[in-house]
A = this chain, B = another copy of it.
């Protein structure tokens, strides 16, 4: 790798390790769930921790995978569900980071007939709302995990051009064209779920963001994501990790 490549790789690795610990601290990931990044120098590869709780991930734990989700030159135990990442990177060249989470506020929407829709500008990346991918509809009775190419591909198809897709009885995926964007979207998906559940429970009518508002807002939010990203990084370093 050339000098620029080395620098890009260093920055990506550092951001990816931080993303693991930020998402744990913000309640998006617990002992399970994961976050990956496309390889900055080779779009046919992606970076993802070995099987490890996200809060514990360091640079030494990051493995490199090809888009078939085979680890390259490393035999350490990989996440069973790495195919989520591989198939999304294959289908979506614009995506450079993927979060998979079981956040407690989001799973209820993944099992409900009520559609998740954006309550405010911070979750405008939800556009007209988040679709739900139900593994049973495509693969019958399973252990609920995405553990092969076919399942990953099916999930990626439901994701389509969206930023977030819910997974019935499981959790959700959020994607972005950079690590801070995907982290931002995962965190505010979790928040939007809480907001929407509260708004519905008030019993009145609920006004969501219109699609046109959501599109303008999402574009604007991209210009300020550095602000919370700086805060989140500071918080994980302040807690001594």
By a beta-carbon cutoff of 8 Å, the part of chain A in contact with chain B is 30-32, 51-53, 55-56, 80, 102, 104-105, 107-114, 118-122, 124, 134, 136, 141-145, 168-171, 191, 194-210, 212-213, 216-217, 219-220, 224, 227-232, 234-235, 238, 240
Chain B residues within an 8 Å CB radius of A216: 141-144
Asked if B120 and A195 sit within 8 Å, CB to CB, the answer is no
Enumerate chain B residues within 8 angstroms of A55, measured Cβ to Cβ.
231, 234-235
* 8 Å CB contact of A121 from B170, B213, B238: B170
Rank and list the top 7 A-B pairs by shortest CB-CB distance, nearest first: A31-B228, A113-B204, A108-B199, A53-B231, A121-B144, A114-B204, A143-B216
Give the docked Cα–Cα distance between A230 and B80 (Å). 18
- Inter-subunit contact B143/A107 (CB<8 Å): no
User: Looking at A196, A202, A203, which has the most chain B CB atoms within 10 Å of its CB?
Assistant: A202
**A53, B114: Cβ atoms closer than 8 Å:** no
Using Cβ atoms and an 8 Å threshold, which residues of chain B touch A210? 136, 141
Cα A112 to Cα B195 in complex, Å, equals 11
A144's contact among B56, B114, B170, B209, by CB below 8 Å, is which?
B209
